[in-house]
Structure 1
């Protein structure tokens, strides 16, 4: 069906929407969804509690009400919806709050995307252009940013963990090293689901410390070693499975291959590397969400989303061969690499 000029124009206008994404981020950063969690409030009271100008806030809320994020039961009075519930900070698993908070690590990365033209001209990330240092150095220099990043990753890991824990032949494994596992959400679920497993969690010191504080005293924590470190350095020995959940897409090919080489060096002859990632399916047509993430990986981290041949080639560069690939739901796949 051919669209008319008016229909095409309307479609393009919807694609170019600038204000809604930033209005969403603004109200999340101000905590408006939390303030409305218990019921309706007037714009004057919302402005007083958030320290902003009432008229300016009213313009933002009117737009978001028109988009269905809030309702306006009376002029200048706003109330929550099922959409705004997903923006509240207290919703650990299904909240978009850590992903939209402009004061947090992810929101900081989003702000760097205004330099997209430079990324197109250089093929390099633009985060350093915005903040003076690469993203990982920036996070390491600010404990609050590090904590917000770990919170966002933990919320995502909570959604992924059951699929990882049930989508692989874990009964044949003995000891799993979760490299770059953040605060250990996936590893804790693995150890809880498979009581025979032992685990090692490796990540930056703040994440590992937080993991130990959160679940180190549990039955799962007593079967886990909490190890601060980097997957670019020699990895701890003893694991027969090394797990990388949403790690490889953060990195350009050179660095991704280096991570996999470290994994290969640390494994016994029967060892396996298990990568949990979204696979870009160029034949069937990748989803718009994955293509958006692919662009974001370039702009902020210098990484990329990959198709199956890309993953196979990375493994070969590290001395690993691709074994099985299992789709476990939600677009997530488990890729098994063997020595």
Structure 2
């Protein structure tokens, strides 16, 4: 996926082709304003206010306790971005905005927008220092209870659509397909959406979610809401130090965690996972992928690579790097499943 600047008329097209448009100025001036406007609109309840019938700028300003002039400006920008349609002095949510921005819609990314606005935005000021020193924030070491809650809500929001596709398309062991009693280890799975998606599809499967105690404290209510009882349960631990056991699991998932670890740490996790898998078992590293050098540019993988470098001093890895950890651990490399709903992301499969 790419973020492109497109022309609205032939003259603009000519200007773009002739390199007369200062594209870096658009990146530097326009896009930060766009990002912050979307985040603040979610945080201030603007999208939900319009959904509830407050359809004029004045009504939105009153409902959300905002300045009327500033609200008109915000709604104008959001209309240009495709969040609202405007007609006869009133605003209406577009189909896109209704699905993805409202608090209580099942696939909404509202939780991620709240986390990015209240927690992540100040981190971006530290990007210059990261570029100079290579030292990231290591945010998992510093989150307070409120920030952990925002973080877990964000992870639920980010994983909603993905978990559904994961449940449909993840390669699984023969024993799981046959409905036999099987065990899954979900490393760093917090909210449990991926485990739940698989357990709903495979009747014989149960899952243990290994995560940090502070993460479990905030994630437990989110998992309980999914109503899986003892079939999906949390186990406190640390992926970097715990012994996963021997020949215990038919399926091991590590989703959105490798980008927090160094190559050496990921290789060590892969070795312990391989030891814990039963013959024919599956190990999936579920991640944003850094494009290979010289490959077609990919915005999502490249931007998250820089972001995770800043926040964890690690970053994304290429498919070949992930497969090397699996291969060195004695696993056979399986097929790579790229997501249709989330560009730049893939399941990298190893088989015992």
TM-score (norm 1): 0.82
Gap runs ≥5 in structure 1: 128-133
Does residue 48 of structure 1 match 2:56? no
Instruction: State how far apart, in whole Å, the 1-side matches of 2:314 and 2:236 are.
Output: 23
Deviation at 1:91, TM superposition (A): 1.7
Which residue pairs with 2:24 in the alignment?
12
Contact 2:112 2:155 (C-alpha < 8 Å) held by counterparts: no
Instruction: State how far apart, in whole Å, the 1-side matches of 2:25 and 2:42 are.
Output: 24
Instruction: State how far apart, in whole Å, the 2-side matches of 1:107 and 1:320 are.
Output: 43
Which residue pairs with 1:181 in the alignment?
189
Deviation at 1:264, TM superposition (A): 4.0
Q: 1:325 to 1:78 in 2, by over 3 A?
A: same
RMSD in angstroms over aligned alpha carbons? 2.8
Map 1:271-310 to 2 at 5 A.
271-282=281-292, 283-310=294-321
Which residue pairs with 2:221 in the alignment?
210
Which residue pairs with 2:91 in the alignment?
78
Q: 1:68 to 1:214 in 2, by over 3 A?
A: closer
Q: 1:52 to 1:225 in 2, by over 3 A?
A: closer
Which residue pairs with 1:164 in the alignment?
166
Deviation at 1:190, TM superposition (A): 0.7
Contact 1:201 1:208 (C-alpha < 8 Å) held by counterparts: no
Contact 1:233 1:262 (C-alpha < 8 Å) held by counterparts: no
Instruction: State how far apart, in whole Å, the 1-side matches of 2:203 and 2:252 are.
Output: 18
Which residue pairs with 1:312 in the alignment?
323
Does residue 195 of structure 1 match 2:230? no
Deviation at 1:163, TM superposition (A): 3.3
TM-score (norm 2): 0.79
- For residue 31 of structure 1, the aligned residue among 29, 45, 54 is 45
Which residue pairs with 2:6 in the alignment?
none
Instruction: State how far apart, in whole Å, the 2-side matches of 1:233 and 1:136 are.
Output: 16
Which residue pairs with 1:130 in the alignment?
none
